[in-house]
């Protein structure tokens, strides 16, 4: 029986042992065989799978999304598309939306710095304040004193 031990797989993939075990529990990585001494023995492909998982996470995919992609990709031999291209398009649209939101935030913060805003309360009372306090104050839940909720 041959294979790579947990520490070898984790080291080669650049993850720690807890991450390796977690991915195994989540089903992202197949449960390895065991040596006669009870040590986990992973196939060499496990290193590639771990690297794919980490790369997909850096691209913004959640672990659930990665699990779906891995499961779909595992059925390549039946001639079906894994859906990676479409999922990448959707993730790209999501990232572009986040970038647009961050550009608005950056622009507003640059304007606040340029306007010399040093005190939020004082700035909020000034008509030239670039921070959109007036827009935030028109939210009916906030105006009533209820805590602001997430997106509705």
Q: What is the pLDDT of residues 64-121, one digit of tens each?
A: 999 988 888 764 445 556 688 888 999 999 999 999 999 988 998 888 888 888 887 8
Question: Which tokens sit at 22?
Answer: 């977690």
Q: Read off the pLDDT band of 5 (50, 70, 90).
A: very high
- Dihedral Cα 49, 52, 53, 59, nearest 10 deg: -170
pLDDT for position 135? 64
CA 93 to chain centre: 14
Euclidean distance between CA atoms 7 and 142, whole angstroms: 52
114 close to 103: Cβ distance less than 8 angstroms: no
The pLDDT > 90 percentage for the chain reads: 49
For residue 85, how far is the Cα from the chain centroid? 18
Residue 25 has pLDDT above 70, yes or no: yes
Most confident of 22-36, 81-95, 108-122, 136-150: 22-36
């Amino acid at each position: 029986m041959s294979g790579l031990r947990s520490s070898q797989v984790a080291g080669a993939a650049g993850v720690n042992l807890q991450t390796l075990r977690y991915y195994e529990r989540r089903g992202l990585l197949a449960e390895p065989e065991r040596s006669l001494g009870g040590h986990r023995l992973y196939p060499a492909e496990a290193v590639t799978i771990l690297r794919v998982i980490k790369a997909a996470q850096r691209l913004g995919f959640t672990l659930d999304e990665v699990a779906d992609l891995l499961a779909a990709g595992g059925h390549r031999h039946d001639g079906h598309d894994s859906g990676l291209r479409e999922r990448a398009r959707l993730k790209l649209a999501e990232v572009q939306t986040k970038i647009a939101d961050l550009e608005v935030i950056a622009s507003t913060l640059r304007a606040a710095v340029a306007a010399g805003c040093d005190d939020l309360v004082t700035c909020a009372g000034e008509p030239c304040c670039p921070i959109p306090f007036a827009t935030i104050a028109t939210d009916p839940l906030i105006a009533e004193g209820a805590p602001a909720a997430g997106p509705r």
